[in-house]
A and B are shown apart, each in its own frame.
Chain A
């Protein structure tokens, strides 16, 4: 039954006593075991703890606990530390790492009674747009088994699209929630930077990393966000806010928009997009609902990819210097010296893309290049953020494609890192500006799902969710499911 259920539907079924959390959880586990050998969307299945947590949730429900999230099965991207469970970040470096504590996101979801059935596959250290950079093997797109699911949260996206779970956590540094959501035909939300705690989330680029929900629809994304979000003293960049809508959405769902929206269409995002047809149809639908459109300009868009690959690589080279083969993670055999231990442990433990990013970051931060690359990129980052500020003076939200193409073939871009980086064309600018953005399904191209991206001003996820929920009440793109996986 879980392959047709959303989180909200399961919540209602649990509340009505039609099903228990244990039954739902067992169904989920059975489906993963049946299907996932063909998708490879999970790295670890946590059957024992899932059964224990589901049983505990049922006991609480029996005692009168009526929280809407109680007993709902879901999955975590394997970038979130889970105490006592393997936490690999898709890397050989951490292939033996059992986290000694829980990430705040993991704690919050467990405290809300949600039941994690396992840890999903991902590009190594969240670096990639195809999920082909995982030490644990590539993930398959449920819509076409020859194609990639996108990345880096490709395991979460494929698992949700295939109906293995209705909701999974993801993380997004330059598009890693939104792009795989688009390529797998699901809903993915990257919240405002600072909205969700980064504590216990394995770091890639700390000024960009943000966790968010990947679900079948906007209502479920809002439900998960309401649990994941919140101030955390353990994350020094956590935003201390009191947004009443976040608490309301948990019990009452997404509120209707107060008035029709003025939606901006950034010229630069429509110049070369291969997604014109489905986006044009989506615009017509939104017009019927009373929304209006306005052309806007984000003049520094072209610089976003270069700026992102300077800043993210620089931050990655610094963050990943912690993997030294001494305190945890992979260590080479028979090191002859401390230097040899560092160099061979890192050479053996990291995959090719991670090494490329570390070396790119090392290059741009090195003597003689720092001002020309790192500082220059930080200045353009401000110009990009200012472009959005100016646009939001005139419009409520922005509507853009999420990715330049639908899901591409496995192996198609693996030999050309720069071509792979272009996958992030439409998602990277919002990451640099720290803004919330979500991808929702809006049509098909070549039989493959396409996504559209809604970008909102800082901390206005409610606007994007409100518009997405309304769109999904009037369309059925988000209800389309891939055929049986063979």
Chain B
């Protein structure tokens, strides 16, 4: 997922969902949608973007973003070994494995 700090500030106006490029989004999200699904999703996304656009009138000048309730920060723990590898146990759910490797279609010819 891409975030970009060089994009317009929150005062700028993106396209408000006009002409959402569903093919591009589904490629980013690794979802193979057929033509019918793409057109349905485009219409749904348009309504959802209209819904979320309603928040853009709120004045947030000088407000710091809140990423986590109570401004909590993730706690760090000591770097200790707490679990023991058990590939057989954890690979039981894998669709295809061999010699403790996960198998996928050939990537490099």
Tally the A-B contacts, defined by beta carbons under 8 Å.
Answer: 206
Interface residues on A, range: 35 or more
The residues of A that contact B19 with a CB separation of less than 8 Å are: none
Q: Which residue of A lies closest to B96 (CB)?
A: A331
Question: Cβ of B104 and Cβ of A326 under 8 Å apart?
Answer: yes
Query: How long is the Cα–Cα vector from A368 to B15 in the complex, in angstroms?
Result: 10
Query: How long is the Cα–Cα vector from A207 to B65 in the complex, in angstroms?
Result: 13
The residues of B that contact A368 with a CB separation of less than 8 Å are: 4, 7-8, 14
The residues of A that contact B93 with a CB separation of less than 8 Å are: 96-98, 100, 327-329
**Does B85 belong to the interface (CB within 8 Å)?**
no
Question: Cβ of B22 and Cβ of A341 under 8 Å apart?
Answer: no
Question: Cβ of A306 and Cβ of B52 under 8 Å apart?
Answer: yes
Give B67 Cβ to nearest chain A Cβ, in Å: 6
**Does B84 belong to the interface (CB within 8 Å)?**
no
Question: Cβ of A310 and Cβ of B29 under 8 Å apart?
Answer: no
Question: Cβ of A376 and Cβ of B60 under 8 Å apart?
Answer: yes
**Does A405 belong to the interface (CB within 8 Å)?**
no
Query: How long is the Cα–Cα vector from A350 to B51 in the complex, in angstroms?
Result: 23
The residues of B that contact A408 with a CB separation of less than 8 Å are: none
Query: How long is the Cα–Cα vector from A207 to B37 in the complex, in angstroms?
Result: 30
Which residues of A, 299-344, contact B by the 8 Å Cβ criterion? 300, 302-303, 305-307, 309-310, 317-318, 321, 324-329, 331, 335-344
Query: How long is the Cα–Cα vector from A416 to B74 in the complex, in angstroms?
Result: 37
Q: How many residues of B contact A (CB 8 A)?
A: 63
**Does A434 belong to the interface (CB within 8 Å)?**
yes
The residues of A that contact B76 with a CB separation of less than 8 Å are: 236
Question: Cβ of B66 and Cβ of A381 under 8 Å apart?
Answer: yes
Question: Cβ of A338 and Cβ of B107 under 8 Å apart?
Answer: yes
The residues of A that contact B1 with a CB separation of less than 8 Å are: 317-318, 321, 362, 365-366
**Does A245 belong to the interface (CB within 8 Å)?**
no
Q: Which residue of A lies closest to B54 (CB)?
A: A306
Give B9 Cβ to nearest chain A Cβ, in Å: 6
The residues of B that contact A421 with a CB separation of less than 8 Å are: 48, 51
The residues of B that contact A370 with a CB separation of less than 8 Å are: 3-4, 7
Which residues of B, 83-107, contact A by the 8 Å Cβ criterion? 89-96, 102, 104-105, 107
Q: Which residues of B contact A (CB under 8 A)?
A: 1-4, 7-10, 12-14, 17, 20, 22, 25-26, 28-33, 37, 41, 44-45, 47-56, 58, 60, 63-70, 72, 74-77, 89-96, 102, 104-105, 107
Beyond the given A376-B60, A432-B69, could you list 4 further A-B residue pairs with CB under 8 A, ordered by the A residue number?
A194-B72, A310-B55, A327-B102, A364-B52
Q: Which residues of A contact B (CB under 8 A)?
A: 96-98, 100, 193-194, 207, 233, 236-237, 300, 302-303, 305-307, 309-310, 317-318, 321, 324-329, 331, 335-344, 346-347, 350, 355-356, 358-360, 362-383, 385, 416-418, 421, 432-435, 458
Q: Identify 21 residue pairs between A and B in the complex whose beta-carbon atoms are under 8 Å apart, listed by A's number.
A: A98-B92, A100-B93, A193-B69, A194-B69, A233-B77, A236-B74, A328-B93, A355-B41, A356-B45, A358-B31, A359-B25, A362-B1, A366-B1, A367-B4, A368-B7, A372-B14, A374-B3, A378-B67, A380-B60, A418-B48, A434-B69
